[in-house]
Amino acid sequence: MSQHYEVLARKYRPHTFKELVGQTHTVRTLVNALDNNSLHHGFLFTGTRGVGKTTIARIFAKSVNCESGVSSNPCGKCETCLEIDKGQSLDLIELDAASHTGVDNMREILENAQYTPTKNLYKIYLIDEVHMLSKSSFNALLKTLEEPPKHIKFLLATTDPKKLPITILSRCLQFNLNKLSHDEIFNHLKYIMGEESLEFEDSALSKIAEFGNGSMRDSLSLLDQSISYGNGSVKESELKAMLGLISQNEIEQLATLVINRNAEEVLSFTRELAHKGENLTNTLKDLTSLFHKIATTQITKDTNQISSEINDLSKIISAQDLQLYYQIAINGQKDMHLSPSEQIGLEMTLLRMIAFHPDHQVIEKKNLKLSENANVNNKLTLKETVQNTSSIKAKVESIKKTENQLEVKTQNDWEKIIKELNFDGAAKMLVKNTVFNSFNNQNLSLTLSDDFVNLLTPNTQSSIKNTLNKIYPGITLFIEPGQTNGSSLSQKESVKKEQKRKQTESQFLNDNGLKELQEVFNSQVDIKSIKESDNV
């Protein structure tokens, strides 16, 4: 890198509307107005930081004051164009209301608007963060806006248009600038890295675009930082080290634990992250982004842009659950600064996702009801309670003694075990599509239907193993893809469902009342609309 390193945001500031990234609606309207020379005197650009408000205003200034005439395509070479690019034009008066609030020369400057431009066609006032003008400056601005001299253009920019008086709003053409999309930022970063002939990884630029959160300026300054951190190159591992991020892989593992509602492991995983000194606020932020990615994958079904792990997760979690987790994650981020420590904040947020899950609440309510009943019906004496407790203990012991030995000899045995054990999500779907082969010396061998081979990931395998080993410790699992010939639990269940549907359908069609109706109205029943309710 050269010693005279110019920050990228400045070096690559767009000089024409064509070079500008995004904001197509605003640009189209401005270009049309400029080319037809039908120009309003007041423009208000609103939007969050770094989306191009002042950049657009400067290009606009060149467009109206370029020495080759008003057009949407200023020459960029005449004295005026060059002056504007360098911030030296006397007829472009740039004011930042955020840094001028106390000082009242602002009012004076605005009162001077009536004097003609020094050399150009228009005198242009570019006022950034205009909502922060003092009251007297507002009045001066309003006075000029009400009766604008022909040579005046006001370009106002604000991040907070709600704070502007209606009298100002009603006298300006308003343009709402959008946050830039991830792709818009990513492609621009990629273009710049190419122009600079610097080494980079796509995944790193994508991460930067994500962190930029719609702001090109923030993304470019992050890119600057990463280039100097990586000594001229931008790599994902270095970016992560710089930002204190944990790897995507770990975030996916954490999400899987939450989705499987495995509270104990969620806690130990979080502790490990904290122990490694990870930034847990970012962990929660990354988890939130992951939920968003899974949700969009469920809708677009676009598997090119995403990892196979995200694709797997998108298949095992419902859209409703995702919404719930996302909302809890967002609230968790808001509360993070209030929690005693980052670790506590993250742990409580993750546990909330598990506790607020509808299934979990059903279980809790059932337990509650059981214990209520117990209190009402059985007013036990202390002695009886003690006796009961010891008999429960004995039962638990006897269960513990028998629970160590898995006995599977047939497919039927295996199906019973599938139904007994609490397999979660993808693991459940996977085991239901297996058939039993053999069980010798604690080695359980299964065949997985070829159609479901994509479920066979390290995650699902370890989940199945964990669930099995909780009750039957020491089992080793072998799953091979192959033909299951209609004998897996899942295949049997769907055959049963289909039979039930057909039965209902024929009952329905043979119903005399329906037959009469059909004859009277000469109508047909839409057979496909008949569905068997799962509860029947």
Minimum separation from the CB atom of position 65 to Zn ion (A): 8
Minimum separation from the CB atom of position 95 to Zn ion (A): 23
Nearest to 314 by CA among 350, 283, 290: 290
Minimum separation from the CB atom of position 51 to Zn ion (A): 25
Among 70, 78, 169, 429, binds Zn ion (CB under 5 A): 78
The answer to whether residues 409 and 395 touch, using CB atoms and an 8 Å cutoff, is: no
Give Dmax (Cα) for the chain: 103
In the bound state with Zn ion, the residue whose beta carbon lies nearer, of 60 and 291, is: 60
Nearest to 193 by CA among 177, 214, 211, 209: 209
Nearest to 43 by CA among 176, 171, 172, 177: 172
- Judged by CB under 5 A, the number of residues near Zn ion is 5
Minimum separation from the CB atom of position 177 to Zn ion (A): 24
In the bound state with Zn ion, the residue whose beta carbon lies nearer, of 78 and 263, is: 78
CA distance 255 to 290: 8
CA distance 121 to 67: 9
Q: Where are the beta strands (DSSP E) in 76-148?
A: 92-96, 123-128
CA distance 433 to 426: 11
In the bound state with Zn ion, the residue whose beta carbon lies nearer, of 83 and 218, is: 83
Minimum separation from the CB atom of position 69 to Zn ion (A): 9
In the bound state with Zn ion, the residue whose beta carbon lies nearer, of 76 and 482, is: 76
In the bound state with Zn ion, the residue whose beta carbon lies nearer, of 73 and 298, is: 73
Stretch that binds Zn ion, among 81-89, 146-154, 169-177, 512-520 (CB under 5 A): 81-89
- Binding flag, residue 81, Zn ion (CB under 5 A): yes
Letters for 18-57 (x = contact with Zn ion by CB under 5 A, - = none) are ----------------------------------------
For the chain, the first-to-last Cα distance in angstroms comes to 72
Residue 14 sits at the vertex; the CA angle it makes with 96 and 169, to the nearest 5 degrees, is 40
- 150's CB contacts (< 8 A; 6+ apart) are none
- 5's CB contacts (< 8 A; 6+ apart) are none
Minimum separation from the CB atom of position 193 to Zn ion (A): 30
Whether the CA torsion 98, 102, 104, 105 is positive or negative: it is: negative
Minimum separation from the CB atom of position 74 to Zn ion (A): 5
In the bound state with Zn ion, the residue whose beta carbon lies nearer, of 86 and 162, is: 86
Among 9, 31, 39, 75, binds Zn ion (CB under 5 A): 75
Among 8, 20, 57, 66, binds Zn ion (CB under 5 A): 66
Minimum separation from the CB atom of position 81 to Zn ion (A): 3
In the bound state with Zn ion, the residue whose beta carbon lies nearer, of 66 and 273, is: 66
CA distance 174 to 190: 32
- Binding flag, residue 295, Zn ion (CB under 5 A): no
CA distance 95 to 110: 10
The DSSP H or E segment spanning 42 is strand 42-46
- Binding flag, residue 84, Zn ion (CB under 5 A): no
CA distance 63 to 121: 11
In the bound state with Zn ion, the residue whose beta carbon lies nearer, of 75 and 198, is: 75
Minimum separation from the CB atom of position 77 to Zn ion (A): 6
Q: Bridge-partner residues for 200, per DSSP?
A: 234
In the bound state with Zn ion, the residue whose beta carbon lies nearer, of 31 and 348, is: 31
Letters for 435-474 (x = contact with Zn ion by CB under 5 A, - = none) are ----------------------------------------
Binding residues for Zn ion (CB under 5 A): 66, 74-75, 78, 81
